[in-house]
Structures are given as C-alpha cells and as structure tokens.
C-alpha cells in the first residue's frame, strides 16, 4: 500500500480543509482513555480493504484513541437509526463519527428520509451527552455529487462536518476498490480528513 501522504495535490488540499479550523464548531477534548464510535455502513466497515486498513482503524492510530468500528454493509439510514441505541449502550462512546445515507442514495430512496434519520441519530447521541462528527456521503452517478442536507443538519445541530473528502475519494479511480468503495489508500485519506477535523474542533490535540 502506498503511504497516504503520496497523494495528488488536489486530494491533499481536500484533506487539509478540515484542519484549517475555519468555522469548525468546538467539541470537548477527548480523554486519553476515551472511546470513539465510528458508525455507518460499508464505508465504515471498510469494504474493499482489510480491517486494519479501514478508516476507523487508521483513525485510531492517528488520534491515539480507541475507535470502535460499527459499520454494517448495505444498511440504510433508517436501519442505522434503529440499530444505534443498542450500539451506544454497548460501546458507551465519548464521541460518535457518523457516516450514513449512502445506501439510501444507491437505492434511490430520496434525501428526505436520509436527512430525517441522520438528524435523529445525531440527536440521540447528543441526548446522551455524546459529541458527534458528521461524515457526508455523496450521491453516486457519473462522478459524485455532494448532498446539501449534511451541511444543513450540521449547522442546525452545531456539529463539525467533513463534506469534501468522500466526494474526492469516491471520484478518484486510484483510491477506489470498486465503483462505490475506497481501497486502502482511500480509507487512509478519509481517516486523515476526520483526524484533521477532530484537531480543528479541539477534540484532540493538534
């Protein structure tokens, strides 16, 4: 596997966007022993790479915190909303990294339901005192297109959102294992972007 820093300049710029710190909502600092929950579908599961190369595993190494990967391939946002309470009960995280909605778009289920379910997952975590970071999923097609509701929900609920990296990764053939999943290098880019956002928010040290 090539190292994540040997990437095209455009992707390095995308990864750096989260790290600039501009207009990023602040989060409580994560304790050294804090548990981070990465929750989502196949992008969180790491389809297309080994478990050690999936973005949650890479993120754990970057931020020196335990990151529990709870991704279910093929899961819709409605199914994720139903699953989340039991996962929160089990993991008891201090921070949730939420990446959901992609399967809704693949199945052409529309944005309204995905927006409602993503908002519901964020509010559920916040009601338990858990910080949330949102990872926006693009719509598939000829290239990829950003979905506006992620940034709207993030602004409404005052949480950090990374909306650039997945469109960049999934729009690059060299970073994908198939049409809709990253490869190991792609997951490394995603992890770097999330880590940069966590640093910008104050959740981890810079």
1 assigned to some structural domain: no
Is 2 within the bounds of a domain? Answer: no
Whether residue 158 is contained in a domain is answered as yes
Per-residue pLDDT, 19: 44
Q: Which two tokens stand for residue 134?
A: 């949102």
| Residue 111 counted as domain residue | yes
Asked if 36 contacts 95 with a C-beta cutoff of 8 angstroms, the reply is yes
Mean pLDDT, to the nearest integer, of 1-10? 41
Q: Name the residue among 66, 142, 74 with its Cα closest to residue 97.
A: 66
SS3 category, 173:
helix
pLDDT digits (tens, 9 = 90+) for 142-176: 557 889 999 999 999 999 999 999 999 999 999 99
Find the length of the chain. Answer: 206
Dist. CA 74–CA 122, nearest whole Å:
20
Q: Select from 16, 8, 53, 12 the least CA-distant residue to 194.
A: 16
Q: Is there a domain that residue 206 lies in? A: no
pLDDT in tens, 39-93: 999 999 999 999 999 999 999 999 999 999 999 999 999 999 999 999 999 999 9
Q: What is the DSSP string of 52-108?
A: GGSHHHHHHHHHTSEEEEEE-TT--HHHHHHHHHHHHHHH--SEEEEE--HHHHHTT
Domain that holds residue 112: 9-20+27-201
pLDDT of residue 11 exceeding 60, the answer is no
Query: Residue 2: pLDDT band by 50, 70, 90 thresholds?
Result: very low
pLDDT in tens, 112-134: 999 999 999 999 999 999 999 99
Q: Rounded to two decimals, what is the model's pTM?
A: 0.89
Q: Is residue 192 part of a domain?
A: yes
Tokens 């970057």 belong to residue: 62
Please answer whether residues 113 and 147 qualify as being in contact, where contact means their C-beta atoms are separated by less than 8 angstroms: no
- CB distance 41 to 73 below 8 Å: yes
Angle between helices 184-201 and 55-63 (to 10 degrees): 40
Domain harbouring 62, CATH code: 3.40.50.1110
Q: How many domains does the chain have?
A: 1
**Residue 55 belongs to a domain:** yes
What's the pLDDT at 141? 65
With a CB cutoff of 8 Å and minimum separation 6, the contacts of 79 are: 72
Q: pLDDT-based confidence at 1, cuts 50/70/90?
A: very low
In a domain, 3, yes or no: no
pLDDT for position 20: 46
């Amino acid at each position: 596997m090539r190292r994540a820093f040997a990437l095209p300049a455009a992707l390095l710029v995308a990864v750096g966007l989260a790290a600039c710190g501009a207009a990023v909502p602040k989060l409580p600092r994560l304790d050294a022993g804090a548990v981070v929950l990465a929750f989502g579908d196949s992008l969180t599961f790491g389809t297309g790479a080994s478990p050690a190369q999936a973005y949650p595993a890479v993120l754990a190494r970057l931020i020196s915190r335990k990151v529990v990967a709870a991704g279910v391939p093929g899961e819709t946002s409605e199914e994720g909303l139903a699953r989340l309470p039991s996962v929160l009960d089990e993991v008891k995280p201090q921070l949730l990294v939420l990446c959901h909605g992609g399967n809704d778009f693949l199945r052409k289920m529309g944005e309204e339901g995905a927006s409602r379910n993503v908002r519901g997952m964020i509010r559920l975590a916040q009601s338990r005192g858990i910080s949330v970071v949102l990872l926006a999923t693009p719509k598939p097609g000829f290239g990829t297109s950003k979905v506006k509701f992620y940034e709207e929900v993030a602004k409404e609920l005052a949480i950090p959102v990374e909306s650039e990296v997945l469109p960049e990764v999934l729009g690059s053939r060299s970073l994908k294992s198939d049409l809709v999943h990253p490869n190991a290098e792609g997951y490394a880019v995603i992890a770097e972007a999330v880590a940069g956002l966590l640093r910008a928010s104050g959740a981890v040290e810079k």
